[in-house]
Amino acid sequence: MSKIKTNIYLIYFYIFFAQLFFDRALWVIYLDDKGMSYTEIGVLEALLHLAIVLFELPTGVIADLYGRKISLLLGNIFSLLYGTFMLVSGTFSVFTLAFMSMGLMITFQSGAQQALAYDSLKEQNSEKQYTKVFGNMTAIALLSLSFAKFAGGFMADISWELVYGSMIVTHLIALLPLLLIKEPAREITEEKPSRGPWYRQWRTQLSDGISVWKRNAVMHVPVLLFVLAGAVMVIITFYGQEYFVQLGFSAKVVGAIFTVEGLLGVVMAKIAYKVEERFRFFSVLYYGLGLFILFFLIFIFSVEWAVLLSFLFLAQLLSLFEPIFTSFIQHLLHSNVRSTFFSLIGLTESFLIMISFPLFGFAAERMGFTESFAWLLAVFLLLVMLLFTHHHLRRS
């Protein structure tokens, strides 16, 4: 088997075990059982994204300068810490350590998986396969999460210790394929000189990432729309756990709902490359935005069964679009800034979530979920209109 195929298969293997978070559809319910208020839950999620904001760029630079494999190994260690802190915690302070660990895990993984896969393909002049490979990566991640959500609902009925103990075991297994992955060599013309103090290398790396943004105006609208929609879906997904409980669904049913969402996402990720082949990127972007707004409206103002269906459609839109979006951006980047630039995107999204997540929790405690979701949609529409107005004025 060629090195390129070995690397890709090892990445697939790693992703499956690294995404087995058995609490993904239940952690809000778990924190509620532990006595946390919605505001405190919002603050914890904000602290997670504060960690991302603080460390997203440094860890992206680490991945580009010192290796994507090292970055992923460090990220997996922090996922083990997350599971451990959640397992032993009963206080807000220890939950804070857990969520900060999760934030650090995300930063070390952010962009590193994509860059490792893209450079593995590029080494064999197979970059055109990237959308298909990334679709497979996304499908495996969603399949893993779907299984974890489904199994997590049954585990939670037995004990929360089983939920978090199982998570620790699976993330120990995830270390094995990482140790076997071979870091692909990057082109000499794209390598950064190793001379000079580390802070100068980091400053240059960040400057290069920002320069990519300035040189490629074509990516501005797609990136910002992706960030806005991603932040909205984080709020819908995680507060949706408690919202569905209030609608009368049990933790087991909530786990099943999120399992279906993940399985449908597998299909979307697998067909993404076919959509990319058939339609122009910006056609997918704008039609997708229209559908996102439509199903968001249905999610807010419908009866229970329609709320569930609209939630599933909203999630699938992002599952379909992410591989196409990532491929569009990757083709505009050089190897030496891949992780750094995706870290910039992740930092922006996390900063937005850090602010909006606790605000939504505060609003939900005082006016309920329906009105809070309506305000979230209003703010989203306002920001989208401002984005398009600004883009139009710059072009005219």
Give the separation between CA 258 and CA 235, rounded to whole angstroms: 14
Nearest to 152 by CA among 160, 8, 261, 180: 160
Q: What is the domain extent for residue 255? A: 3-182+205-395
Instruction: Please give the torsion angle defined by the CA atoms of residues 243, 247, 251 and 254, in that order, rounded to the nearest 10 degrees.
Output: -70
Q: How many domains does the chain have?
A: 1
The residue-averaged pLDDT of 232-246 equals 85
pLDDT score, position 2: 58
Angle in degrees, 0-180, between the axes of helices 68-88 and 160-173, rounded to the nearest 10: 160
pLDDT score, position 205: 63
Give tens-digit pLDDT for 6-60: 888 999 999 999 999 998 878 888 898 888 887 888 888 888 888 888 887 778 7
Residues 6+ apart with CB under 8 A from 27: 86, 238, 241
* 198, part of any domain: no
* 196, part of any domain: no
> Are the C-beta atoms of residues 357 and 52 closer than 8 Å to each other?
no
* 199, part of any domain: no
* 155, part of any domain: yes
Give the separation between CA 204 and CA 226, rounded to whole angstroms: 26
pLDDT band at 227 (very low <50, low <70, confident <90, very high): very high
Intra-chain end-to-end CA distance of the chain, in Å? 53
pLDDT score, position 198: 54
* 187, part of any domain: no
pLDDT score, position 147: 87
> Are the C-beta atoms of residues 200 and 138 closer than 8 Å to each other?
no
pLDDT score, position 52: 82
- The CATH number of the domain where 269 resides is what? 1.20.1250.20
**Encoded tokens for 107:** 């930063």
Give the separation between CA 144 and CA 146, rounded to whole angstroms: 5
Q: Is the pTM of this model over 0.85?
A: no
Q: Give just the sign of the alpha carbon dihedral 300, 302, 308, 312.
A: negative
Does the pLDDT value for residue 168 go beyond 70? yes
Give the separation between CA 317 and CA 237, rounded to whole angstroms: 14
Alpha helices per DSSP H over the chain: 3-18, 27-33, 38-66, 68-88, 92-109, 112-122, 130-158, 160-173, 175-180, 198-215, 220-246, 251-278, 281-301, 304-330, 338-367, 369-395
pLDDT band at 378 (very low <50, low <70, confident <90, very high): very high
* 194, part of any domain: no
C-alpha 211, offset from chain centre: 24
pLDDT band at 375 (very low <50, low <70, confident <90, very high): very high
Higher pLDDT, 6 or 287: 287
* 149, part of any domain: yes
* 339, part of any domain: yes
Give tens-digit pLDDT for 118-130: 888 888 778 788 8
pLDDT score, position 200: 65
